[in-house]
Amino acid sequence: MSETRNAALDNTATMDSSGGTEQATNGLQRLYKPSSEVVENANVTAYMRQKGFSTYEELYDWSIKNPQEFWSDQANELGWYEPWQQVLDDSQAPFYKWFVGAKTNIVHNAIDRHVTTWRRNKLALIWEGEDGTQRTYSYHTLNREVSRFANVLKSMGVKKGDIVTIYLPRIPELPITMLACAKIGAAHSVVYGGFSVEALADRVDDANSKVLVTADGGVMRSKVVELKKIADEAMARTPSIQTCIVVKHTGHEVTMESGRDLWMHDLLSLPIASAVCPTEPVDAEDTLFILYTSGTTGRPKGVVHTHGGYQVGTYATLKFVFDIKEEDRWWCAADPGWITGHSYIVYSPFLTGATSFMYEGAPNYPYPDRWWSLIARHGISILYTAPTAIRGLMRFGEAWPSRHDLSTLRLLGTVGEPINPEAWRWYYRIIGGERCPIMDTWWQTETGHFMITPTPITPLKPGSATRPFLGIEVDVVHEDGSSCAANEDGLLVVRQPWPGMMRTILNDPERYVTTYWDKEPAGMYTVGDSARKDDDGYLWIIGRLDDVIKVSGYRLGTAEVESALVSHSAVAEAASIGLPHEVKGNVIHSFVILREGFEGSPQLEEELKGHVGHEMGPIARPEKISFVPSLPKTRSGKIMRRVLKAQALGQDVGDVSTLES
């Protein structure tokens, strides 16, 4: 497994000696300790004292011995229409059920309960478009907008059991549409606005959606992203969509098919779109949303999340990890089209009654200080982003952030991939002014919320996501399930169920069991990452063990890229691997065997890259395509991507005894 080790993560790397809060441990490792002020005021400290513990370790030990008590403490801070009879039902494991018998609705907790208090006047959402346009929503106005659109959906017959596909840019209508679906008990399936025709068509098809909500277009670097046009092509490939609701955002001309396509603003001007809409009580285990994610096969997995457990898990993690206080302005700079946005732009900020900021455009538009200017102008106090964004902005130098007052920041966060210590320290020093702890949160689409993460009181090591969250028991194990020794690489597993966990894969419960639970070691949730624990019990994530590539923190399946390639008439066979990249973390390198009569050329390489971009989306576009006469395969015909990768990196190809001869 050591071949997948990321050198940037090597925790024996020499550290610089800046920052008065660094302390030497293990001889080489430096520890960043939070100030006593941070510790004293942290939400997690208050909870620790409430439970009668004097250290975080004691609180953690108690929480994993009594997870049901810990999670019901959290659940009791939310509202439920009817209480649960059982916190956890594990009788049909791994199909776990949480808060069994309870009636709830995540929208009740995210909106309804705030509008009856002073928070009705608090800003729920502040939005800035790339062109500088601003829109703000108090909890009162958010409630009205969500209710109005919920009534529109209801009038179209959308109800519990339906899945509405949402394909929108980063605009307020995205969270509003998600919340409107949840409010009436329907599920949503958000497809990231950077995905393209085939990716969208596959997801609409699998979810069998009758309603699609999209926009005329999105804006990125002042250019229009033709969402409606892509949606039109996707709808031509799948028969299920009966109604397509279109947000007018860019205002450029799009084709509207009569009888199918309707403008959202027209619908919202109808009398049916009243601002009063009762929130539908649902079962705690009813589906809240489907979110597709990549795995080892070409077919993306529709990860199913539910109302009850997910609201408890996302609420508790945001409250304790990012320490949300009434005065905060929280900015999760992800896209709502990914789990990070679902959990930490849309649901948990509203569950905690926070003010959430959302920005539509590119981080370096029109200049590389756009983000820093947003922080200063909006008074952002907590910024949560991906290592790739930090590395990208770091390239432009310190002068850009130093032009802005970033003193409102008090906490920082990262997610999506391991952060290299160099980027960590830049983020800490230049953006956080050496006063903001960095929460490196490890989790997945499947886990719903943070699993391995510091809290503001955890001493930090750059590059490590530190320790498991309260109530979460993770381990690094050998294939027989036995725990690895300290500093030994192994498989990352979760030993106990948790409330926000995925419940199944849509239309494929079998795949849920075989992918996550039936693998060796059996009986625990297999994450798909390799990791190691150091002498202090800190976890270091090494990388994926399956055919998933993280490009700029985005999760892509090699198989999906390959199937896009072979859908081109020139391609007979394709294999893709991820290769390390300074800013993006990884980039895709594809190997292609051409069909008879085609010859490799720079033009064809460009054409194939464009084809993948058109089918899958720009993020899946390979950086490089090599034309090859053959691919290394096992005797059973499986492509050995490991061999391609080792060859590309100029490494020893390892054991190739199963290679086809």
List contacts with ligand WT7 (CB under 6 A).
Answer: 293, 339-340, 415-418, 440-445, 465, 527-529, 541, 544, 550, 555
The Cα angle at residue 29 between residues 24 and 33, in degrees rounded to 5: 60
Half-sphere exposure of 653 (CA within 13 A, CB side): 11
Nearest distance in Å: CB 441, ligand WT7: 5
Strand partners, 586: 580
Between residues 427 and 442, which has the closer beta carbon with respect to ligand WT7?
Answer: 442
Give which of 153, 182, 211 is closest to 280, Cα–Cα.
Answer: 182
Q: At what angle do helices 56-65 and 43-50 cross, to 10 degrees?
A: 70
Between residues 267 and 316, which has the closer beta carbon with respect to ligand WT7?
Answer: 316
> Exposure of 8 by Cβ count < 10 A (0-12 exposed, 13-18 middle, 19+ buried)?
middle
Nearest distance in Å: CB 527, ligand WT7: 6
Nearest distance in Å: CB 339, ligand WT7: 5
Half-sphere exposure of 577 (CA within 13 A, CB side): 19
The Cα angle at residue 515 between residues 649 and 492, in degrees rounded to 5: 60
The Cα angle at residue 162 between residues 160 and 167, in degrees rounded to 5: 130
The Cα angle at residue 143 between residues 142 and 147, in degrees rounded to 5: 115
Nearest distance in Å: CB 291, ligand WT7: 9
Nearest distance in Å: CB 546, ligand WT7: 9
Between residues 129 and 463, which has the closer beta carbon with respect to ligand WT7?
Answer: 463
Q: CB under 8 Å to 319, separation ≥6 — which residues?
A: 43, 352
Between residues 376 and 531, which has the closer beta carbon with respect to ligand WT7?
Answer: 531
- Among all chains, which residue has been given the structure tokens 């992800």? 334
Contact in structure between 461 and 29 (CB atoms under 8 Å): yes
Which tokens is 335 given? 């896209």
Between residues 203 and 555, which has the closer beta carbon with respect to ligand WT7?
Answer: 555
Between residues 190 and 527, which has the closer beta carbon with respect to ligand WT7?
Answer: 527
Q: Alpha-carbon distance 568 to 288, whole Å?
A: 37
The Cα angle at residue 116 between residues 271 and 186, in degrees rounded to 5: 50
- Among all chains, which residue has been given the structure tokens 């049909």? 92
Q: Alpha-carbon distance 545 to 172, whole Å?
A: 36
Give which of 474, 459, 463, 406 is closest to 440, Cα–Cα.
Answer: 463
225 backbone dihedrals φ, ψ, rounded to 5°: -95, 120
**551 — alpha (psi -120 to 50), left (phi > 0) or beta?**
beta
Nearest distance in Å: CB 412, ligand WT7: 13
Nearest distance in Å: CB 331, ligand WT7: 16
Nearest distance in Å: CB 9, ligand WT7: 9
Strand partners, 123: 138
**Three-state DSSP state, 555:** strand
Between residues 449 and 568, which has the closer beta carbon with respect to ligand WT7?
Answer: 449
Q: Alpha-carbon distance 216 to 254, whole Å?
A: 6
Between residues 139 and 310, which has the closer beta carbon with respect to ligand WT7?
Answer: 310
Between residues 185 and 557, which has the closer beta carbon with respect to ligand WT7?
Answer: 557
Contact in structure between 341 and 331 (CB atoms under 8 Å): no
Which tokens is 583 given? 């800013």
Tell me the residue type at 570.
A
Nearest distance in Å: CB 332, ligand WT7: 10
Between residues 388 and 441, which has the closer beta carbon with respect to ligand WT7?
Answer: 441
Nearest distance in Å: CB 445, ligand WT7: 3
Nearest distance in Å: CB 132, ligand WT7: 29
Between residues 277 and 358, which has the closer beta carbon with respect to ligand WT7?
Answer: 358
Nearest distance in Å: CB 353, ligand WT7: 23
Nearest distance in Å: CB 14, ligand WT7: 22
Nearest distance in Å: CB 309, ligand WT7: 17
Between residues 319 and 342, which has the closer beta carbon with respect to ligand WT7?
Answer: 342
Strand partners, 82: 103
Give which of 386, 382, 380, 391 is closest to 412, Cα–Cα.
Answer: 382
Between residues 311 and 453, which has the closer beta carbon with respect to ligand WT7?
Answer: 453
Give which of 540, 316, 314 is closest to 447, Cα–Cα.
Answer: 314
Q: Alpha-carbon distance 464 to 518, whole Å?
A: 28
Nearest distance in Å: CB 419, ligand WT7: 7
Tell me the residue type at 547.
D
Between residues 30 and 555, which has the closer beta carbon with respect to ligand WT7?
Answer: 555
Tell me the residue type at 584.
K
Between residues 156 and 431, which has the closer beta carbon with respect to ligand WT7?
Answer: 431
CA distances to 402, 403, 493, 593 from 398, in Å = 6, 9, 39, 45
